[in-house]
C-alpha cells in the first residue's frame, strides 16, 4: 500500500512538472511567434523614417507619414498609433478596444490570443493623444519584447543618453522628451486623478518631477505645467508589486499627410 501511494505521488509530481514545462514551452513559442509577427508588421506597414518624413505631398505640402495607417486599419480598426522609443526595443503599433479596456492585455494585433498581448490604451483616453495624460500599457516580457526594454531607463547613464520617444498617429507625428522614469504603485492612474482639475494635474506633474520612489531618474532642467501634455508608458516590475513608468512630455507635434488607400 505504501509503495502504491509513493508511486501515485511520483506520477502526480511528474505530470505536474511536465504540465509546467509544457506551459513554459508553449508560452516561449507563443511569445517568439508574436514578436516575429510584430516584426513582419513593422516591415510591411512602416517605412524607414529617414527620408520618408522629409518627403512632401504636393497637394497639401505636408510631410509623408512613414506608417501606413490605412492598411493597418483594414487589418484591425483598433490600431490607431505607432510608438518608437529611442535606444529600446519599443517599436510597435498602439491599439485600443472599443468595448473591452483590457482586451489587448492578452491579444495580438489580429485579435488572436497571445500571452505577450499588445501595446494598448484604455477607453478613458482619446486616440489622438490630446488628453492631458495618456497611459499606454505593455507587458514586461522575458525576451525583452513589448515594454520590457523600458527598464533600461533604470540605469542613470542610459537615462541620461536617451530622451526621445515618438508616436505616430494618422495625420501627425508627436515627439516627446522622456522626463522621468520610476517605480510607482499599482494604482490605476486615470481612475485615481481628476486631470481636468488644474490643481490636481499640477500636483501630479510635481510628483512626476519628484517621484516618491526608491528607484527613479529625472531629467535635469525640464519643467512641467498645466499646458503640457504627457504620455505615461506603464509596465510590470521585474519583481514585486507595482508598475514601472516612463513619462514623456510632448515637445512638438508635426502635421503629416493623412493615410489613404491608393
SS3 192: helix
**pLDDT in the model for residue 16:** 45
Alpha-carbon separation of residue 27 from 32, 91, 212, 228 (angstroms): 8, 22, 35, 40
For residue 208, pLDDT over 70 is answered with yes
For residue 30, pLDDT over 70 is answered with no
**pLDDT in the model for residue 40:** 83
Do the domain assignments include residue 166? yes
- Residue 47 φ then ψ, to 5°: -80, 165
**pLDDT in the model for residue 240:** 86
**pLDDT in the model for residue 55:** 42
SS3 258: coil
Of 222, 232, 221, 130, the closest CA to residue 181 belongs to 232
The 10s digit of each residue's pLDDT in 31-59 is 556 678 787 888 888 886 444 444 444 45
185-194 mean pLDDT? 97
Domain range for 172: 45-255
CB 122 within 8 A of CB 108: no
- Residue 182 φ then ψ, to 5°: -165, 165
**pLDDT in the model for residue 253:** 98
Do the domain assignments include residue 191? yes
Do the domain assignments include residue 16? no
For residue 28, pLDDT over 80 is answered with no
Do the domain assignments include residue 80? yes
Do the domain assignments include residue 40? no
Do the domain assignments include residue 5? no
**pLDDT in the model for residue 145:** 96
For residue 70, pLDDT over 60 is answered with yes
**pLDDT in the model for residue 14:** 47
What is the number of domains present in the chain?
1
Percent of the residues in the chain that have a pLDDT greater than 70, as a whole number: 82
Do the domain assignments include residue 27? no
Percent of the residues in the chain that have a pLDDT greater than 90, as a whole number: 73
69-74 mean pLDDT? 97
- CATH code of the domain containing 181: 2.40.260.10
The 10s digit of each residue's pLDDT in 92-144 is 999 999 999 999 999 999 999 999 999 999 999 999 999 999 999 999 999 99
- Per the prediction, the chain carries an average pLDDT of 87
Do the domain assignments include residue 224? yes
Amino acid at each position: 500500500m505504501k509503495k502504491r501511494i509513493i508511486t501515485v505521488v511520483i506520477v502526480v509530481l511528474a505530470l505536474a512538472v511536465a504540465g509546467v514545462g509544457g506551459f513554459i514551452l508553449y508560452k516561449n513559442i507563443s511569445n517568439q511567434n508574436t514578436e516575429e509577427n510584430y516584426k513582419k508588421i513593422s516591415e510591411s506597414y512602416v517605412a524607414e523614417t529617414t527620408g520618408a518624413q522629409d518627403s512632401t505631398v504636393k497637394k497639401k505640402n505636408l510631410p509623408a507619414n512613414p506608417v501606413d495607417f490605412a492598411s493597418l486599419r483594414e487589418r484591425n480598426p483598433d490600431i490607431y498609433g505607432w510608438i518608437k522609443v529611442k535606444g529600446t526595443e519599443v517599436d510597435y503599433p498602439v491599439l485600443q478596444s472599443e468595448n473591452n479596456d483590457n482586451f489587448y492585455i492578452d491579444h495580438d494585433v489580429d485579435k488572436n490570443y497571445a500571452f505577450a498581448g499588445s501595446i494598448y490604451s484604455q477607453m478613458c483616453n482619446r486616440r489622438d493623444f490630446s488628453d492631458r495624460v495618456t497611459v499606454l500599457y505593455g507587458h514586461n516580457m522575458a525576451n525583452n519584447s513589448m515594454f520590457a526594454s523600458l527598464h533600461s531607463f533604470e540605469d542613470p547613464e542610459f537615462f541620461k543618453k536617451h530622451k526621445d520617444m515618438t508616436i505616430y498617429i494618422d495625420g501627425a507625428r508627436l515627439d516627446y522628451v522622456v522626463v522621468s522614469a520610476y517605480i510607482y504603485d499599482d494604482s490605476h492612474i486615470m481612475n485615481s486623478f481628476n486631470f481636468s482639475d488644474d490643481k490636481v494635474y499640477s500636483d501630479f506633474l510635481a510628483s512626476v518631477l519628484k517621484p516618491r520612489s526608491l528607484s527613479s531618474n529625472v531629467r535635469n532642467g525640464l519643467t512641467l505645467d498645466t499646458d503640457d501634455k504627457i504620455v505615461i508608458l506603464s509596465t510590470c516590475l521585474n519583481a514585486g508589486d507595482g508598475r514601472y513608468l516612463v513619462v514623456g512630455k510632448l515637445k512638438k507635434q508635426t502635421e503629416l499627410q493623412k493615410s489613404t488607400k491608393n
